[in-house]
Amino acid sequence: MGMGRGAGPSALGFWPTFAFLLCSFPAATSSCKILKCNSEFWSATAGSHAPAPDDAPEFCAALRTYALCTRRTARTCRGDLAYHSAVHGIEDLMSQHNCSKDGPTSQPHLRTLPPPPGDSQERSDSPEICHYEKSFHNRAAAPNYTHCGLFGDPHLRTFTDRFQTCKVQGAWPLIDNNYLNVQVTNTPVLPGSAATATSKLTIIFKNFQECVDQKVYQAEMDELPAAFADGSKNGGDKHGANSLKITEKVSGQHVEIQAKYIGTTIVVRQVGGYLTFAVRMPEEVVNAVEDRDSQGLYLCLRGCPLNQQIDFQAFRAGAEGPGARRLPAASPAPSAPDTFPYETAVAKCKEKLPVEDLYYQACVFDLLTTGDVNFTLAAYYALEDVKMLHSNKDKLHLYERTREPPGRAAAAGPPPAPWPLLGSLLLSPLFPVLLETA
């Protein structure tokens, strides 16, 4: 297809990158309002980092308002890396634009974008490069599609159809290639539990040729937007913008994102209090990474590190054995008052998942560890997404869970600090460079 190397750092744009970093910190809590400060400033300045001379006073006023917002939330954000990165970013911007710390402030206003012309349908004259499948008409073979999904406690199905149950608490990258990044944040299901579920999802679509501008999509518990972070529903102002579109299937519960320029479909759902993720992506895009050896934490490609995997078979043996009404001692979660007995969990999962495959087993596992019946629906919808997205209908059902051999998992080593945290620390001193190259 001649897709090239994708977007380099200079093509990504400063503000979407900055926003992605600030929105990606697992340490940010509901009491720390740094994300609100960042969002208000970004909206007030319309994402501009190089204001015209006539606009400089207004830009400086917005920066002072941003700084004031961070000071007001300083006490609740103490120790939060997202907060400290924002503070340093403000200082750099004020210095670059010669803004004084004293002066008028501005009231932040939300930026709303009208639907682009022709947003309801793809433009017939969009470049062929912006339609992945059409670009294959000169090739002998059609593209080979793969699938990755994450749901429940969480359970991971990789692009190579490995199936694992993992802890992976905090922020972890699911996909990290030349065209998009996907990161999830997993939080404990019960207080003190090692069993986690996805509470936050961030997707960044990188700037690509004449097709799309960089776009960020972010979902959290009880907030499943039907638009990108800037309020738009397509890829921006470029000629092939409608090769990236977001569609709300069920309000607050089901969103689908079509990225035709890379042949990719993403499904995001909210089931109960948690999120599920599923993607269909061509192998060419899956493997489009600058340095494959550095993709050790790209979960959809490599799977979970060994020390993050839960031994599901041992758990199931304990649950089926003597004292099956109680969780085994090695269980990843403490017993909860409303945890289901094994027989009840089996019966409830059978109602939605009659085939005793790994999705059925995942359902039973989740009911035993959480007592939350919504995890039954999470497993059900995960399988429904496989039926829609997987290209090989013979592999819809998996029956043997994958646990990485020690040698392979050791190559990835223990999980380092999540990459957005490390990336932000590395990028903090480079903000002026990013400003000049964006």
pLDDT tens string for the chain (438 positions)?
Answer: 445 444 433 333 444 445 444 444 444 444 677 777 877 787 677 555 556 655 678 888 888 888 888 888 888 887 777 788 788 888 888 888 888 888 787 654 433 333 333 443 444 446 778 988 877 655 556 789 999 999 998 999 999 999 999 988 899 999 999 999 999 999 998 777 767 899 999 999 999 988 999 999 999 998 999 999 989 999 998 889 999 999 999 999 999 999 999 999 999 999 998 999 999 999 999 988 876 665 556 899 989 989 889 876 666 565 555 544 444 333 444 444 467 889 999 999 999 999 999 999 999 999 998 889 999 999 999 999 999 999 888 888 888 765 444 334 333 333 333 333 333 333 333 333 333 444
Is-cis flag, bond preceding 154, omega within 30? yes
Neighbouring CB atoms inside 10 A of 398's CB total 17
What pLDDT does 139 receive? 58
What pLDDT does 31 receive? 64
The pair phi, psi for residue 57, each rounded to 5°, is -60, -40
Residues near 316 by beta carbon (within 8 Å), at least 6 away in sequence: 361, 364, 365
What pLDDT does 41 receive? 80
Do residues 58 and 51 make contact, with C-beta atoms less than 8 angstroms apart? yes
What pLDDT does 136 receive? 62
Helix, strand, or coil (residue 252): coil
Task: Return the amino acid letter for 30.
Answer: S
What pLDDT does 140 receive? 57
What pLDDT does 75 receive? 80
What pLDDT does 46 receive? 59
Q: Is the Cα torsion angle 38, 41, 46, 50 positive or negative in sign? A: negative
Residues in the chain: 438
Token reading at 75: 């006490």
Percent helix, strand, coil in the chain (nearest 5)?
Answer: 40, 20, 45
What pLDDT does 349 receive? 96
The β-bridge partners of 117 are none
What pLDDT does 138 receive? 54
